[in-house]
A and B are shown apart, each in its own frame.
Chain A
Amino acid sequence: MKPAPFAYHRVHSVEAALERLHELGEEAKPIAGGQSLAPLMAFRLARPTALVDISRLAELAHLARVGDELRVGALTRHATVESGAAQCGEGFEVLSRSARFIGHGPIRRRGTFGGSLAHGDPSAEWCLLALALDAVVIARDRAGERAIDAGDFFTGYFSTALAPDELLVEVRFPRPRPHSSLKEFSRRRGDFALVGVAVALDLDRAGRCEDVRIAFGGVDDVPVRVAAAERLLEGEPAEADAFRAAAELCGAELGRGLGDEDGRLKRRLMVELSVEALGEASAGVPG
């Protein structure tokens, strides 16, 4: 099946892209790596009347540390993050390590960080990590920039806080989180996760957990944190028993509505994956 007809505009600057999007209105869409939008259009599930191709905007393809903060340009490819542990610097290893879960090689070479967030799939790796690492999304329109907390960014299935004439330009991760991990289960390699979990925590000198984040994907229309389980771990020793208790609480909180076979599987996955992720996070970066 072929996509419905659409107009195509390639732009060479962010300003030009924003002008175009504004002038073309709601039915126009930016296209970056095309790894989500193109299949949707091929199936005619999405029928934008115009595409604004931002894929060549080199000014948005950065990956750099600014002090504690890691700044990921919207057009940074998944593959760049995967091989970019050095650019990400200490404390952001989880990003490079998790990139390999995204689709396959060709998808990772084309697909973009910003595109993944803007697409807002509730089981996408970058969406989960944005939430777990307290990322801030920088959006720009003709009037200027605004910062949106990851926790406010995802609004529903494939829906975000971005306005139609706004571009996601950068994602900022505020500080290194050496104790973080992402675990997921998918039925086949390269598939989107059936359930995924991203965790981050700090350890005090006595080995107790602080500032815990536990975020799940694939269990709701947006990635979700489980505040009760995060609180439960606060101040607890980073040990298997505490992790198990928190994981069980996650399963109980989120698995509540899931009654059928699929739901039971998801619930079990939530528990086992978060036990694993918390264990890995507390152990720190593997050698």
Chain B
Amino acid sequence: MAPCLPGASIEGKDGDVYTGAMRTKVGPIVASYRGTLKFDELDKEKRRAVISARAEEVSGQGGAEAQIVTSVIEGEDGSLVVIETDVQIRGRVAQFGRGALEKISQKMFADFAKNLERQLSGESEAAPEEAAREGGGAREATAAPPSPTAADGTAEQASLDVLGLVGEQIGPLARRVGAPLLVGLVVGFVVGRSGRRGERGPG
């Protein structure tokens, strides 16, 4: 899991509980977390994993809890990795600027999905950052949805569906590596009331 998460490191293991740290950066915003990650369920045959993560902000009173469910749907022209996450963020950070943290999490999980895709497509070297941001800038909204399957499979749980967002980020990459593989990502944020309140904060 750690190799898939940029800025994350696994520091120790106690039974099936991993301890680790994670640093994430979005523009000028930096958030550091330390916490644990546990596989609640791991079905190698079905390629399904349920992971729960808890983390505390390194220098702040905030924290985050997440449940991550990853599963793989085999399709005709490749596999579709579906990642569902419920992230709950606590603390001041969660109240800031229209849920800046929601956005950080979105980016985090998008990066996660990209890296996972890279691993699955057998690319050993991490592709340069630009590749993922290919075409950068204000992209025109022309990307096709990654796959209807992703939406169908997970829509019920998702309170915020960022498929479009991620589809755009992942689309060009998938073409670039030439792998007939699509990664769908549905992030279900349950940011709770504090997150909503955060929408009104300054930016």
**B164 contacts which of A1, A39, A256 (Cβ < 8 Å)?**
A256
A268 CA / B96 CA spacing, docked (Å): 26
Taking CB atoms, residues of chain A closer than 8 Å to B140 are 224-227
Q: For chain B, residues 38 to 61, give those with C-beta under 8 angstroms from any C-beta of chain A.
A: 59-60
| Interface pair A222/B27, CB less than 8 Å apart | no
| Interface pair A156/B107, CB less than 8 Å apart | yes
| Interface pair B158/A47, CB less than 8 Å apart | no
Residue A8 CB within 8 A of the other chain: no
Instruction: Give the dominant DSSP class at B's interface.
Output: loop
Taking CB atoms, residues of chain B closer than 8 Å to A155 are 133, 136-137
**B160 contacts which of A120, A223, A263 (Cβ < 8 Å)?**
A263
| Interface pair B203/A192, CB less than 8 Å apart | yes
| Interface pair A260/B161, CB less than 8 Å apart | yes
Instruction: Give the dominant DSSP class at A's interface.
Output: loop
Q: State whether A257 and B162 are in contact (beta carbons under 8 Å apart), knowing that A151-B138, A192-B98, A227-B142 are contacts in the complex.
A: yes
Q: State whether A187 and B199 are in contact (beta carbons under 8 Å apart), knowing that A120-B27, A151-B138 are contacts in the complex.
A: yes
| Interface pair A46/B141, CB less than 8 Å apart | no
Residue B22 CB within 8 A of the other chain: no
Contact with A along B103-136 (1 / 0, CB 8 A): 1101100000000000000000000000001001
Contact with B along A101-135 (1 / 0, CB 8 A): 00100000000000000011101100000010000
**B92 contacts which of A1, A46, A152, A253 (Cβ < 8 Å)?**
A1
Q: State whether A221 and B103 are in contact (beta carbons under 8 Å apart), knowing that A257-B162, A259-B158 are contacts in the complex.
A: yes
| Interface pair B160/A228, CB less than 8 Å apart | no
Contact with B along A3-26 (1 / 0, CB 8 A): 010000000000000000000000
Q: State whether A121 and B93 are in contact (beta carbons under 8 Å apart), knowing that A45-B29, A45-B30, A257-B165 are contacts in the complex.
A: no
Residue A44 CB within 8 A of the other chain: yes
| Interface pair A46/B138, CB less than 8 Å apart | no
Q: State whether A152 and B28 are in contact (beta carbons under 8 Å apart), knowing that A188-B200, A224-B141, A256-B145 are contacts in the complex.
A: no
| Interface pair A159/B27, CB less than 8 Å apart | yes
| Interface pair A158/B160, CB less than 8 Å apart | no
CB distance from A182 to the nearest CB of B (A): 15
| Interface pair B96/A224, CB less than 8 Å apart | no
Residue B139 CB within 8 A of the other chain: yes
A227 CA / B158 CA spacing, docked (Å): 28
Taking CB atoms, residues of chain B closer than 8 Å to A228 are 141-142
Output the residue of B137, B138, B159 with the most chain A CB within 10 A: B138
A192 CA / B31 CA spacing, docked (Å): 23
Residue B155 CB within 8 A of the other chain: yes
| Interface pair A154/B137, CB less than 8 Å apart | yes
A40 CA / B28 CA spacing, docked (Å): 8
A119 CA / B200 CA spacing, docked (Å): 18
Q: State whether A43 and B27 are in contact (beta carbons under 8 Å apart), knowing that A225-B138, A254-B164, A257-B145 are contacts in the complex.
A: no
Residue A235 CB within 8 A of the other chain: no
Taking CB atoms, residues of chain A closer than 8 Å to B164 are 220, 254, 256-258
CB distance from A32 to the nearest CB of B (A): 13
Of chain B, the residue at the smallest CB distance from A150 is B138
Taking CB atoms, residues of chain B closer than 8 Å to A48 are 28
Taking CB atoms, residues of chain B closer than 8 Å to A1 are 60, 92
A152 CA / B135 CA spacing, docked (Å): 8
Taking CB atoms, residues of chain A closer than 8 Å to B142 are 227-228, 253
| Interface pair A187/B200, CB less than 8 Å apart | yes
A151 CA / B140 CA spacing, docked (Å): 9
| Interface pair A158/B27, CB less than 8 Å apart | yes
With A45-B29, A153-B138, A158-B29 already in contact, 14 other A-B pairs whose C-beta atoms are closer than 8 Å: A1-B92, A35-B202, A39-B202, A44-B60, A47-B30, A149-B137, A155-B137, A157-B104, A215-B138, A220-B165, A228-B142, A258-B160, A258-B164, A260-B161
Chain A interface (Cβ < 8 Å from any Cβ of B): 1, 4, 29, 35-37, 39-40, 43-48, 103, 119-121, 123-124, 131, 149-161, 187-188, 191-192, 194, 215, 220-228, 253-254, 256-260, 262-263
Top-3 shortest CB links A-B: A257-B164, A158-B27, A152-B137
Q: Could you show 14 A-B contacts with beta carbons less than 8 Å apart? A: A36-B202, A40-B29, A45-B28, A45-B96, A45-B100, A124-B203, A156-B26, A156-B136, A220-B168, A223-B138, A224-B139, A228-B141, A256-B163, A263-B161
